Structure 1
Amino acid sequence: MLDRLAHALRTDHPDRPAVLHHTRTGATRTAIRRGELADLADGYAAALHARGLSPGATVGVAVRPGPRALAVMLAAHRLGLRIAVLDPTAGPDVLAARLGLARPDLVLADAAAQALAGWAGPLARRADLALPRLAALGPVATLGRRLPGCAPRLRPATAPVPAGRDERDGDAVIVFTSGTTARPRAVVHTREGLAAGLRTVADLVAPQPGTSVLGGTFFVLVPALAAGATVALPARRPEALARQLARLAPAHTYLTPPQLRTALSAGARFSGRVWTGSAPADAALLHRVKQAGAEQAWSVYALTELFPAAAVEESDKSAHDGDGDLVGHPLPGIRARLADDRELLLTGPGARHRYLGEEPDPWIRTGDRAALTPDGRIVLAGRLKDMVLRRAENIYPGLYEPALHVPGVELALLVGVPDGHGDERLVALVQPGPGADPRQLRAALSIPLDRMGSARPDAVLFGTVPLAGRSRKPDRSAASAHCARELAR
């Protein structure tokens, strides 16, 4: 589909808007036209080739979703390069560990990402991560506007570019998930697997030429643009998003459940079909979306390892009267089975090939306990993972808990506490050592907490961490219940 998109941008209405940005008032403006996006992708391909990047090389990308990020993906695909998706909000220690695992030949970052990660010293607030440390892991270049303190720009070039190797099983993208700071874990998708996932989205959503789609993810942009639709990037502020929806009246809208809730609170009205995922979406939320004007409201079950896996419309979800969360039938080509402990296992053409540094395994362990109905639908019954899901972001406690063990801390856990709306609050439960002064501990913890970026907990509680089993390991379930009681006081 990336090949199809690259061709369609230049041959199918190249003067038509490809991506729309929003203004503060909720109005939209053209960010880039279809032909311009094709030219930008060609320019980046030439620039990357001029830097000596050859098929199989790895490019780290820390760029906000939008035209430049998509152009880089198209350029990398053309050259046979592998993209490593980097999240600068993960905190400097986690980011450095992930860079150490991926070992990119080049890191591309926009000015905002560099400032957030501390790469642009004058723009960083208190981050302890400087360009020389990252430079040891590979060169850095700025994508888009360069601000003082940023790395040199990657300027689009015009030189001829040879076609990359057409290897279906070649690596296309690396996306980091769990693991500790010392041992990060990353999902690897091949070119063939990525193409299969994009085809599944295209078949499910079926965008039409000349229509508008609201959404900002790669899996929204590519199928919509390949079909000839125009994509509008969602406004961040709920009030602006509500005005944007009213003026655009998109045929398809993709927003996370937290975005839907804040948009509804701002009085948003919907149109066409609305899709949501990345976090639990109950039937009540989907019903509210339809009451606000949507023709259909769909919940999509997806993982970093397999996007998408299943989908269900509000009417079917509301009709489910059994236990658990109905997420629908596996999408075409997806197979599901249960392990002995009832963990849901999935596989399919779009499944990840492997975890970086590990052997391939066709079956994905989702970490979700589940049941399969007689007609093959998937019903989730809670997570087996330690992962905490907050505001559509997966947070893995093992990444951050070691940093909480400062002098005076005997034990510390990060747990999720349900907030009653299908989301979770992230809470640090810290057990002080004998004789430790809580005030001094809070001061000592401020440094690692500041370095946690978007994974910073919503609350820090002092108390005894519950233990369980013969080995007396920390009991996360009991710790979560304890924190919920404390927060309710």
Structure 2
Amino acid sequence: MLDRLHHALRTDHPDRPAVLRHTRTGAAGVRIRRGDLADLADGYAAALHARGLAPGATLGVAVRPGPRALAVLLAAHRLGVRIAVLDPTAGPDVLAARLTLARPDLVLADAAAQAVAGWARPLARRADLALPPLTALGPVATLGRRWPGCAPALGPAGRTAPPPRTGGPGGDGDAVIVFTSGTTARPRAVVHTRDGLAAGLRTVTELVDPRPGSTVLGGTFFVLLPALAAGAAVALPARAPRALARQLTRLAPAQTYLTPPQLRTALAAGARFTGRVWTGSAPADAALLRRVKQAGADQAWGVYALTELFPAAAVEEVEKSAHTAPGDLVGAPLPGVRTDLTGEGELLLTGPGARHRHLGEEPEPWIRTGDRADLTPDGRIVLAGRLKDMVLRRAENIYPGLYEPALHLPDVELAVLVGVPRSGEPGDELLVALVQPRPGTDPHRLRTALQGPLDRMGSARPDAVLFGEIPLAGRSRKPDRRAAAAYCARELAG
């Protein structure tokens, strides 16, 4: 797809917009045209080639989504260079450990990333920062506008002929490294090969089916690349909820991809939707999908995806709402995705788009999702919670994922079940429901409405129900269960 995209940008309406720019009023302007994006990619390929990056080299990238990031991805693919995705908000110690593991030959960071992380400047100026020598970590260059104190700039070599298209290593060559978990002492990262990345992009294309000349709103590469390859224009979501609501009204996108927290804040700001809406990266209950359709969307889809396999399954609101059994229905596995369960009920996944291995480790055929699940007779996946989220109450194992969907009533923004250690009884926990009401909801009316779902939980009925804002964490803004449990413990103690 990346080869096809580069060709399509030049030959298929190169004067059409590739990436749209939004304003405070929500109006759309042209941020970059298709042909200009191809030129930018060629310029970066020439600049990286001049820096000595060759097939098999590693390029660290800490750049916000946008035309430059897309151009760098295309340039790296052209050269056969693998990309290590770096999160500048991870903190200097974590980031340094990840750099040490990936050992990039060059790190590209925009000025904002350097300002957030505060790591590129000292790495660029010091030979030793209580870390391996700079030569082991690789040099740093600024992509885009350079602010004072940033590393030297890497500009596209516009007048230099781009290097020959090598295609890099064969299909099994590494394409991208994405860090997932681990500690400062032992970070973990998954490695996707060129073939695996291509398979994931094909799956997204078949699922979403972007159309030429349409507009797609989304901020992830798995959304942007298929859209651009199909001839659609893409728009990056505005960050402020009201601006996002105006953007949705002005653009009327045919396809929209937003995370559940983005959907909730957009809905609270009065957003109206059009076409098909997709959400993932965090749990999305049927009530949220229904609200999106009530706000104008033709279809509302929840996508089950992992860093190790994107996407794995998908379900539309009608099917999800019809699921009344325990657990969270995430849909049938997408073509090529295979499932299995361990003896503990942990969901295992594999398929053409699955990661090849963890960096520094041997290949693994199956992905351990960490999700407890059941499989329906027709093969659909029903999640029953995270294995590590299990609450132990009076020697009974309680999996929050089985019961949380029942708490998502129309007036509930988000709800989680967490365990709070019972004072004086090691190994025993109180089960607490933390419910975040929608703005303007009458708490007394909501507490009455919750009695029905709570009664149906049987032996898993919570010991306490608290109303409050659920803390979120990570780039995908998932519920932070540890912080939620700490909040509940403080509230109960008070």
TM-score class, shorter-chain normalisation, is 0.7 to 0.9
Aligned residues of 2:261 and 2:477 also touching (Cα < 8 A): no
Which AA in structure 2 matches 1:484? C
Cα distance change of structure 1 residues 458 and 385 upon mapping to structure 2, 3 Å threshold: closer
**Counterpart of 1:107 in 2: which secondary structure?**
strand
Aligned to 1:161: 163
Cα distance change of structure 1 residues 276 and 354 upon mapping to structure 2, 3 Å threshold: same
1:360-409 CA-to-partner distances (Å, cap 9, x unmatched) read 0110000000000001000000002479x9xxxxxxxxxxxxxxxxxxxx
Shift of residue 103, structure 1, vs aligned partner: 0.3
Q: Does residue 1:271 correspond to 2:274, yes or no? A: yes
Which AA in structure 2 matches 1:31? R
Root-mean-square deviation (CA, aligned residues, Å) is 2.8
Structure 1 distance, partners of 2:257, 2:322, is: 23
Match of 1:229 among 223, 228, 232: 232
Shift of residue 200, structure 1, vs aligned partner: 0.2
Structure 2 distance, partners of 1:480, 1:226, is: 42
Structure 2 distance, partners of 1:326, 1:203, is: 21
Q: Does residue 1:290 correspond to 2:293, yes or no? A: yes
Cα distance change of structure 1 residues 131 and 329 upon mapping to structure 2, 3 Å threshold: farther
Aligned to 1:101: 101
| Worse overlay, 285-294 or 149-158 | 149-158
Shift of residue 262, structure 1, vs aligned partner: 0.3
- In the TM superposition, 1:65-76 aligns within 5 A as 65-76=65-76
Q: Does residue 1:486 correspond to 2:487, yes or no? A: no
Structure 1 distance, partners of 2:389, 2:100, is: 24
Cα distance change of structure 1 residues 53 and 10 upon mapping to structure 2, 3 Å threshold: same
Match of 1:420 among 426, 435, 450: 435
**Count of residues paired in the alignment:** 412
Shift of residue 76, structure 1, vs aligned partner: 0.4
**Counterpart of 2:76 in 1: which secondary structure?**
helix
Aligned residues of 1:195 and 1:350 also touching (Cα < 8 A): yes
Structure 1 distance, partners of 2:67, 2:75, is: 12
Aligned residues of 1:83 and 1:174 also touching (Cα < 8 A): yes
Aligned to 2:451: none
Aligned to 2:380: 377
Aligned residues of 2:45 and 2:162 also touching (Cα < 8 A): no
TM-score by length of structure 1 reads: 0.80
- In the TM superposition, 1:295-374 aligns within 5 A as 295-374=298-377
Structure 1 distance, partners of 2:148, 2:104, is: 24
Shift of residue 421, structure 1, vs aligned partner: 5.4
Shift of residue 454, structure 1, vs aligned partner: 7.8
Cα distance change of structure 1 residues 361 and 192 upon mapping to structure 2, 3 Å threshold: same
Aligned to 1:16: 16
Aligned residues of 2:370 and 2:388 also touching (Cα < 8 A): yes
**Counterpart of 1:186 in 2: which secondary structure?**
strand
Unaligned runs of 5+ in 1: 122-127, 390-415, 423-451, 460-475
Aligned to 2:418: none
- In the TM superposition, 1:61-210 aligns within 5 A as 61-119=61-119, 131-132=125-126, 133=129, 135-136=134-135, 137-157=137-157, 158-164=160-166, 165-210=168-213
Aligned residues of 2:19 and 2:234 also touching (Cα < 8 A): yes
Aligned residues of 2:43 and 2:162 also touching (Cα < 8 A): no
Shift of residue 37, structure 1, vs aligned partner: 0.3
Aligned to 1:448: none
Structure 2 distance, partners of 1:113, 1:341, is: 41
Which AA in structure 1 matches 2:332? H
**Counterpart of 2:154 in 1: which secondary structure?**
coil
Aligned to 1:33: 33
Shift of residue 457, structure 1, vs aligned partner: 13
Cα distance change of structure 1 residues 456 and 328 upon mapping to structure 2, 3 Å threshold: closer
Aligned residues of 1:91 and 1:453 also touching (Cα < 8 A): no
Structure 2 distance, partners of 1:37, 1:368, is: 40
**Counterpart of 1:420 in 2: which secondary structure?**
strand
Aligned to 1:446: none
Aligned residues of 2:282 and 2:478 also touching (Cα < 8 A): no
Shift of residue 26, structure 1, vs aligned partner: 1.9
| Worse overlay, 22-31 or 138-147 | 22-31
Shift of residue 93, structure 1, vs aligned partner: 0.5
Aligned to 1:411: none
| Worse overlay, 377-386 or 364-373 | 377-386
Aligned residues of 1:89 and 1:453 also touching (Cα < 8 A): no
Which AA in structure 2 matches 1:225? L
